[in-house]
Amino acid sequence: MTIKQSGYYNALLHINLTTGKITKKGICAEDIKDYVGGRGLGMKLLWDHIKQPGINPLSEENPLIFLPGPFSGFPIPSVSRTCVVTKSPCTSPIQSNYPHASTVSYSNFGGFFGPEIKFAGYDGIFITGKSPTPVFIQINNDNVEIKDASNYWGMGTDKFDKIFIQDLSDRRYRTCYIGPAGENLVPYASIIHTASRAAGRGVGCVMGSKNLKAIAVKGSKLPDVADHNMLVKKMTGARNYFKGFSRGKILSNIFRKNGTAFLFEKKSKKGQMSVKNFQEGTFPQVDRINADAARNKLWVRNYSCYCCPLSCKKSGVIKQGKYKGLLVHDGPEYETGTMLGANLMISELEGIMKLIYDGDDYGLDIISAGNVIGFLMEAYEKGIIDKDDLGGIDLTWGNVEASIKMLEKICSKEGIGALASQGVKALSKKLESGSDFAMHVKGLEIAAHNVQANPEKGISYSTSNRGACHQNGETVKKQNSITLIDSLGICKFACTTPLGLSTKKLAGLLESITGIKRSADELLMVGERIFNLEKMFNYREGFGRQDDNLPERFFNDAFTIGTEKGAVLDRDEFDTVLLKYYQERGWDTKSSKPEKSKLAQLGLEFTYS
């Protein structure tokens, strides 16, 4: 019998798509306390379910877990995130005894899905098995059904988003789904929500492997909380934090005005942008793709996630040119705009937007897709591959039409697309050349933040537990904090230091929900515990010190333009910083394995066998 924890239902919705069995199972109260929810609880559930290393991420055994956090559903600002946790189909270690060795993957998306899982009465949805035919899951409180999705199979996410909600005949359902890329098992396929918000980094491929097209959820509940009055007071306080003359207001104004697009100019100036497959950090044509340009040519309105005062999402329509009339569901954001823009030397804003639209419609992770196309462009320029290899595509730098065709080939796995869909690591291996400029860590493609002039980002990428991750954090403390935020269900943007909500404020909110008194430092320890459990999962699969590496390019190819001209990483310095990082983490400096004492301190003795 599980002890009921305030603020939770202590209930996980288990769905086995092989047998069609649907059950509601309890969650251990200790796990709720130690891993809180979202990314953390997902990792613990994954650890408990996968008892052996090397299982195939696309097998029935690999669970696909959707998790709101303890904040989700309560009207706290920006508590919109849904975390998807699974074993990654994208990553692989340099050496391992297991054929399917890969890291954990966690990816979270904003919108309205996570809160709705909470409203439906669950702390998470745990999906295993594989349906023999395409299906979707419909959840209306306790009424859960697995239904035929054959008619939807092959449909792009934009069209599906429109049609599916009509077919459900109730707009109060919140849906997430995969596109053709996920169906075709492209490893870096995404799960999409509201036609644009995405959980990337491979989770869509796992959903595809289960023949699961979509999930629709709606509900009417909220769990009891420990201290009602305190929570109402603290929620009001948190909402007011973003009003009037406050730091929160400054933060929300930045996002309201430009979304993440405010970064284009800033990052390019500092030499921190991913340009020309990471060869440069500055994009000379940045003024053609920045926020001002997008506002003129594309944006119509701001769009928020659940209870969010930031509204960073920009929607609109391409107002002129070749792609006139094409919808802009979101963008360009900094990531999508850079990876399918500057990284490919494309400065035509409408072209970038068309690429982003296609990427979302296919349900592809745009970071990975942009990275892969950048690699192919460079390989083409260097003569490693020719036009015939590319199926007749003239994949030159800045070529929008060629990039559109490449995205299509990746999604359909046709011709060169079959190989390109496996990611840059697989591509460079197969081509037996190009590993110097295959921009990935542990097999996952690097994002739009370049490293040569921003060495700290190198630590973020190299030590991330899901492979190259720009949101991992550059220091131990930051990583623990971000891990915690990912586990609470709140958005990182609202917690940006120094303008956003502080860990102390988050601790107060969590305490009033759960009744468990914890200081900010104690909460950061929760983040540390989760990060270490992820690390132990990866270590068990065979990932070690050698895998916490960066591509050669960062050490060899200095920038040739911009204010940071000449910038390049120093190998020895990187090794020293990484060594210090391990020491601070309490990990063995040779193997990178967390020390026994560290694991014991965090209550992770069960991982040590």
Partner 1 sequence: MYRNKRHFNKERRHFIKKIAIGSSAILFSFGLPIFSISSSAEDGKPDQLASILIDFSKCTGCRTCEAICSSFNNLENIDESLMPGIGNPYHANIKVYNYNPDIDVPSVCSLCSDAPCIQACPISEDPVTNRKALFRDNKTNAIVSDPTRCIGCGNCQEACKNESSGIIRLNRATGMPEGICNLCGGDPQCVKHCPYGALRFEKQTINYSFDRMSPDEIAKQLTKQNYLI
Positions touching partner 1 (CB under 8 A) are 73-75, 112, 119, 158, 161-162, 165, 171-172, 194-195, 219-222, 225, 228-229, 231-232, 235, 239, 242-243, 252, 300-309, 311, 313, 315-317, 319, 325, 327, 329
Is the Cβ of residue 21 or residue 228 nearer to partner 1 in the bound state? 228
Cβ pair 179, 362 in contact under 8 A: yes
Is the Cβ of residue 296 or residue 556 nearer to partner 1 in the bound state? 296
Taking the C-alpha atoms of residue 476 and residue 478, their distance in angstroms, rounded to an integer, is 6
Q: Which of 419, 104, 49, 60 is nearest to 211 (CA)?
A: 60
> To the nearest whole angstrom, how small is the minimum distance from the Cβ of residue 26 to partner 1?
23
CA distances (Å), 233 to each of 227, 245, 348, 508, in order?
10, 20, 48, 11
Q: Tell me, what amino acid is at 356?
A: I
Is the Cβ of residue 75 or residue 398 nearer to partner 1 in the bound state? 75
Is the Cβ of residue 222 or residue 516 nearer to partner 1 in the bound state? 222
Taking the C-alpha atoms of residue 368 and residue 370, their distance in angstroms, rounded to an integer, is 6
> To the nearest whole angstrom, how small is the minimum distance from the Cβ of residue 164 to partner 1?
10
CA distances (Å), 12 to each of 117, 121, 204, 274, in order?
10, 9, 21, 40
First to last CA, the chain: 28
**In the numeric block, which tokens belong to residue 431?**
């081509």
Is the Cβ of residue 230 or residue 431 nearer to partner 1 in the bound state? 230
Is the Cβ of residue 221 or residue 571 nearer to partner 1 in the bound state? 221
Is the Cβ of residue 307 or residue 604 nearer to partner 1 in the bound state? 307
Q: What 3-state DSSP class applies to 264?
A: helix
Is the Cβ of residue 129 or residue 337 nearer to partner 1 in the bound state? 337
Q: Cα 41 to the chain's mean position, in Å?
A: 16
> To the nearest whole angstrom, how small is the minimum distance from the Cβ of residue 508 to partner 1?
16
> To the nearest whole angstrom, how small is the minimum distance from the Cβ of residue 233 to partner 1?
10
The angle formed by the CA atoms of residues 603, 608 and 609, to the nearest 5 degrees, is: 145
Q: Report residue 191: phi and psi, to 5°.
A: -100, 130
Buried b (16+ CB within 10 A) or exposed e, 48-65: eebeebbbebbebbbbbb
Is the Cβ of residue 160 or residue 334 nearer to partner 1 in the bound state? 160
Is the Cβ of residue 178 or residue 447 nearer to partner 1 in the bound state? 178
> To the nearest whole angstrom, how small is the minimum distance from the Cβ of residue 78 to partner 1?
9
Q: Which of 19, 424, 368, 62 is nearest to 209 (CA)?
A: 62
* DSSP state letters, 193-230: ETTTEEE-TTHHHHHHHTTEEEEEEE-------S-HHH
> To the nearest whole angstrom, how small is the minimum distance from the Cβ of residue 161 to partner 1?
5
Question: Regarding beta strands 11-16 and 124-128, do their DSSP bridges make them parallel or antiparallel, or are they unpaired?
Answer: parallel
Cβ pair 313, 257 in contact under 8 A: no
Cβ pair 418, 241 in contact under 8 A: no
Cβ neighbours of residue 125 under 8 Å, at least 6 residues apart? 12, 13, 15, 65, 66, 67, 117, 137, 139, 215, 217
> To the nearest whole angstrom, how small is the minimum distance from the Cβ of residue 331 to partner 1?
12
**In the numeric block, which tokens belong to residue 568?**
């390049």
Cβ pair 213, 135 in contact under 8 A: yes
Is the Cβ of residue 221 or residue 504 nearer to partner 1 in the bound state? 221
Element holding 127 (H helix, E strand) = strand 124-128
> To the nearest whole angstrom, how small is the minimum distance from the Cβ of residue 174 to partner 1?
9
> To the nearest whole angstrom, how small is the minimum distance from the Cβ of residue 228 to partner 1?
5
* DSSP state letters, 490-554: --GGGG-TTTS--HHHHHHHHHHHH-----HHHHHHHHHHHHHHHHHHHHHHT--GGGS---THH
> To the nearest whole angstrom, how small is the minimum distance from the Cβ of residue 193 to partner 1?
11
Is the Cβ of residue 222 or residue 384 nearer to partner 1 in the bound state? 222
